[in-house]
Chains A and B, each alone.
Chain A
Amino acid sequence: MHLNNNEIKKCLKQGKEFIFVASADIEFKQNIVYSNVCVPEKWGSRFVSSCLIVEAIGQTIELLIRKVYGVSGSMYLAQIKKVRNYNIIQLVEQFQNIRIISEATQKINNCFISAANAFMEDERICYVEIYHYIIP
């Protein structure tokens, strides 16, 4: 399933000023998601922070959770088990070239456990293991 930027804005609870996913492709059978990263419209800076790659990964996985598991209510980022930065990204132009590929997401009770890598061309720049919780 392909999601464009407008569909992503409808799917996520964040406002358009804080959405860092340009487009996404969800593979339902494999339970994984691919996405392309962007800065929001009217981004007032030439710079980004490494924390935004983690946010982009979190939003990418949230799309998968909402589409594959049909979660429509609120979720929150409860834990980040592991972050590994392999390169430093500081400029918007670099950030917009990032592609995210998730690994399979598991659901345990109200918690979704996921992992994902961020790449710039063929170079891995970040790895994250993340826990999302559903707010009952």
Chain B
Amino acid sequence: MNCRQILKHRYPFLLVDKIIEHEYNEKIVGIKYISNNEPWVQGHFPDEPVFPGVYILESMAQIGGLIFYLDDENDQNSENGKLGWLVGADRVKFLRTVVPGDILRIEAVKIINVGSLAKVSCVAYVNEIKVASAEVTYAFK
């Protein structure tokens, strides 16, 4: 799955580097590499760079939304291209700091998909340690 072709986000807000697992409409696992060469490093914080919590949430939202994207052009019955708009998030918890050099692995699992709304549970890990979690809600056109 080529995230750049699917998501409209671009630098500095394309916050997913690759998808390593995708089970359509059920589960997805994505990776975001945290680098010193990103614009937030200078300001958050000047002496001690920490990947901003809201960027973790954005990264979870971008990866979680790809659950509903069917990457199969041959499937005539598919909803290929179905991308949700982020309409809400609940129970967002930041448990540990994420710093340059870390590899953020985000697992997202569908909770419910009813009509034009879907809710996804996202958990972010660094070295298998849970660093953040959230429930993200999407709306589809």
Q: Mark B13-41, 1 if CB is under 8 A from A, else 0.
A: 10000000000000000000000000110
Whether A82 lies near B43 (C-beta < 8 A) is no
Are B43 and A17 in contact, with the CB atoms below 8 A? yes
Residue contacts A-B, CB under 8 angstroms, 9 given: A15-B44, A18-B44, A40-B43, A47-B13, A49-B9, A51-B55, A52-B54, A82-B90, A83-B88
- Inter-chain pairs besides A14-B44, A76-B53, 13 sampled, C-beta below 8 Å: A14-B45, A15-B44, A18-B40, A18-B42, A45-B12, A48-B13, A49-B13, A55-B52, A77-B54, A79-B94, A80-B57, A84-B87, A85-B86
Interface residues of B (CB under 8 A from A): 9-13, 39-40, 42-46, 52-55, 57-58, 61, 85-94, 134
User: In the docked arrangement, what's the CA distance between A13 and B45, Å?
Assistant: 7
Interface of B is mostly: mixed
| Shortest 8 CB-CB contacts between residues of A and residues of B | A18-B43, A17-B43, A15-B43, A51-B58, A80-B92, A15-B46, A51-B54, A83-B89
Is A97 interfacial (CB 8 A cutoff)?
Answer: no
Decide if B54 touches A58 in the complex (CB within 8 Å).
Answer: yes
B58 touches A50 (CB 8 A): yes
**Shortest distance from the beta carbon of A118 to any chain B beta carbon, whole Å:** 13
